[in-house]
């Protein structure tokens, strides 16, 4: 982000009432939700955000409102999880560790597709030192979680992609929904330098069913939902030989140029 953009965004956030993580999780846990994702150019986002006048709160912890995240995604040697997403299979899954770097807290997460395209996320606390590995306890949890959804647990899971970004989290009480704004999203394959998306933000709304006020505000400003998955779109960008028709438009018009391997 440029200094001007950072300053404008920080100034807008300082105007908002704050909410603690405990209150946010109590009020709007939304572990089962409908996600809508948007790619918004950084030079346009401040204008759109500044004129959004719905009631909202920003997550704040000890004065911090932009939190560094790290996610490590796991897949089989055949990239089964990726291919299930690429071909839009109904019974697909995503396995990752999510680390909140400012607090030193990590989770192992299993995300599956529920009814009506909803996302169901299950997770357990995880040792940050193990965030790039699947422990015995982690493997047992993955197996149990996927069996409970009628899926066959994968074999040979290993880290295939890491993402980092700064996240702003908003709570919109009128619709009891959340929204996140991810800045400076970066992807990297194991042992490779990161690819940073510095010209666009990833905005994601998380609601129980109907579109919320932020969705409608983005639509009015010409921003429509995009097909983007930090896991799948990142993999397709960094490994262009993979099938990626579902994200063709995003890859062609929105993603930064991948480095030559």
Residue count (the chain)? 261
72 phi/psi in degrees, rounded to 5: -115, 125
Q: How far apart are CA 226 and CA 146, in angstroms?
A: 28
**Centroid of chain to Cα 143:** 23
Rounded alpha-carbon distances, angstroms, from residue 255 to 2, 163, 194 = 18, 14, 13
As a dihedral over the C-alpha atoms of residue 194, residue 198, residue 200, residue 201, rounded to 10 degrees, the angle is 70
**Does pTM surpass 0.75?**
yes
Domains of the chain, each with CATH number or no CATH: 3-253 (2.40.320.10)
Confidence of residue 248 (pLDDT cuts 50, 70, 90): confident
Rounded alpha-carbon distances, angstroms, from residue 146 to 98, 108, 110, 122, 143 = 18, 13, 8, 10, 5
Confidence of residue 117 (pLDDT cuts 50, 70, 90): low
Q: What is the pLDDT of residue 247?
A: 87
Q: What is the pLDDT of residue 1?
A: 47
More confident residue, 156 or 35: 156
Q: What is the mean pLDDT of residues 138-163?
A: 95
Confidence of residue 227 (pLDDT cuts 50, 70, 90): confident
Q: List, in sequence order, every residue forming a beta bridge with 12; answer none if it has no partner.
A: none
């Amino acid at each position: 982000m440029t200094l001007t953009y950072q300053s404008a965004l920080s100034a807008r956030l300082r105007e908002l009432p704050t909410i603690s993580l405990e209150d946010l999780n109590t009020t709007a846990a939304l572990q089962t939700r409908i996600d809508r994702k948007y790619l918004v150019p950084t030079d346009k986002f401040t204008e759109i955000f500044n004129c959004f006048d719905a009631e909202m709160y920003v997550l704040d912890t000890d004065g911090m409102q932009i939190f560094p995240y790290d996610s490590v995604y796991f897949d089989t040697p055949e990239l089964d999880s990726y291919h299930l997403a690429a071909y839009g299979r109904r019974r697909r899954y995503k396995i990752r560790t999510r680390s909140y770097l400012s607090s030193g807290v990590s989770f192992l997460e299993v995300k599956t597709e529920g009814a009506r395209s909803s996302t169901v996320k299950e997770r357990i606390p995880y040792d940050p030192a193990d965030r790039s590995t699947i422990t015995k306890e982690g493997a047992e949890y993955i197996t149990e979680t996927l069996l409970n959804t009628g899926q066959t647990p994968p074999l040979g899971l290993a880290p295939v992609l890491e993402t980092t970004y700064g996240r702003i989290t908003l709570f919109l009480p009128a619709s009891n929904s959340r929204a996140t704004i991810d800045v400076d999203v970066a992807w990297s394959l194991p042992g490779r330098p990161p690819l940073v998306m510095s010209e666009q933000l990833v905005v994601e709304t998380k609601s129980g069913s109907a579109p919320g006020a932020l969705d409608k505000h983005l639509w009015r400003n010409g921003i429509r939902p995009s097909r983007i998955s930090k896991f799948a779109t990142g993999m397709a960008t960094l490994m262009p030989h993979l099938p990626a028709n579902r994200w063709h438009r995003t890859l062609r018009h929105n993603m930064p140029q991948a480095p030559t391997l």
